[in-house]
Amino acid sequence: MKLKVKHKCVTDYLVQRDDQVEALMELLDIESSDVRFVGIHGMGGIGKTTLAKLVFNKLCDRFDSCSFLADVRESSRQHKGIELLQKKLLGDLGLRLGEIMDVDDGIIRMRERLAHKKVLIVLDDVDHSNQIQNLAGDASWFGSGSRILITTRDQSVLEIRRQRVHILEVEKMNPEEALRLFSLHAFDKDSPPNRYLTLTQKAVASSGRLPLALKLIGSLLRDKRSKEWVDTIKRLDLSRTQIIELPDTIGNLKKLARLDLSRTGITELPDTIVNLKKLAMLDLLETRITELPQRIGRLVKLEVLNLGRCGGLKKLPDSLGNLRSLAELDLSCTRITELPDSIGNLEKVKVIRMTEIKMKELSSSVGTLKRLEVPDAGL
């Protein structure tokens, strides 16, 4: 009996890229009886997941059973994350086998039960080859005609031992597609009103033509008057959104004064962020940032830098001391163990928060900070 498959939800405001769908369908070649692995590679926010959902919805009825494992990267980090993903996959495919003892147990069950089933499996947002090995192994696991579709930002994870992977490289939207997607989110129509055309073109350019950035910025500007657009682009609040990567073109927002990326999946900042000469506030609270750009000291107007609860942050660049306007620095709950000596150059700093960090010793240069209030060091 064929299982009824739930289609994956795709945004109402969709600019379908028929060329990409066609290219992916060609690589999948579902008329072929071989077992085939296909990777979708591209930078964060470029539309890999949307493309995978579109094709999944289009093809799932052609298989005995199907499974779409969303956000494998994040899910696998949880306690027994891989085992839970294995259990969900087997359940989606109609094989409910109780608890999985460990990863190896899951692998054995999958190999035993899927060898004669024609399945469609999507592994979305994979960031390590072990995730593929533990969830899809190789062609010998699956029945004739099966297809394994993998989305990733890191092409190296698609180098699977003893398994060929066909790869689709997802490119940025062309200017016309980007303008349409932005307009759908900002104006509910395919193109902007004439009086907004110049502002729209600037906003689209700042997005780097990345679908996720276009959707977020378009939604932020929705129902706002043209004057408010200018103010919004001066204060960009992307907190708690799904954004995971900033485009290099963020550096073109020359008037940007406040950038809030708190509680997002951002892992790094593009080097071009140092071109934001008017940036006064940068909020990276509870992000996945592991390091700051080496030239961050060029943000000469920066007054507030919030790195609180960035659990992957271990070190600060020496150029931090060049932030001569910095008044507030939050390093709470990071993994930083020492401060650069250049911190003594922060003439205007009043507050440095360092609660719940394992500081080896406080740099002697902190003593030269004349305006510093009692530091919250948690030593």
The residue type found at 313 is L
Confidence band of 378 (pLDDT split at 50, 70, 90): very low
Which strand ranges, in their side-by-side order, compose the sheet holding 328-330?
235-237, 258-260, 281-283, 304-306, 328-330, 351-353
**pLDDT average, residue stretch 88-105:** 86
Is the pLDDT at 187 greater than 90? The verdict is yes
Is the pLDDT at 156 greater than 80? The verdict is yes
**pLDDT computed for residue 70 by the predictor:** 94
Beta carbons of 168 and 37 less than 8 angstroms apart:
no
Confidence band of 364 (pLDDT split at 50, 70, 90): low
Beta carbons of 322 and 299 less than 8 angstroms apart:
no
Q: The domain 238-379: what is its CATH number?
A: 3.80.10.10
**pLDDT average, residue stretch 83-99:** 86
CA-based R_g, the chain, Å: 24
Distance CA(301)–CA(348), nearest Å, equals 11
Nearest CA to 186 among 228, 222, 237?
222
Per-chain mean pLDDT for the chain:
89
Distance CA(273)–CA(292), nearest Å, equals 10
User: How many other CB atoms sit within 10 Å of the CB of residue 45?
Assistant: 24
**pLDDT computed for residue 254 by the predictor:** 82
**pLDDT average, residue stretch 12-20:** 70
% of the chain residues with pLDDT over 90: 61
**pLDDT computed for residue 159 by the predictor:** 92
Q: How is the chain split into domains, by residue range?
A: 18-169, 173-230, 238-379
Superfamily of domain 18-169: P-loop containing nucleotide triphosphate hydrolases (3.40.50.300)
**pLDDT computed for residue 241 by the predictor:** 84
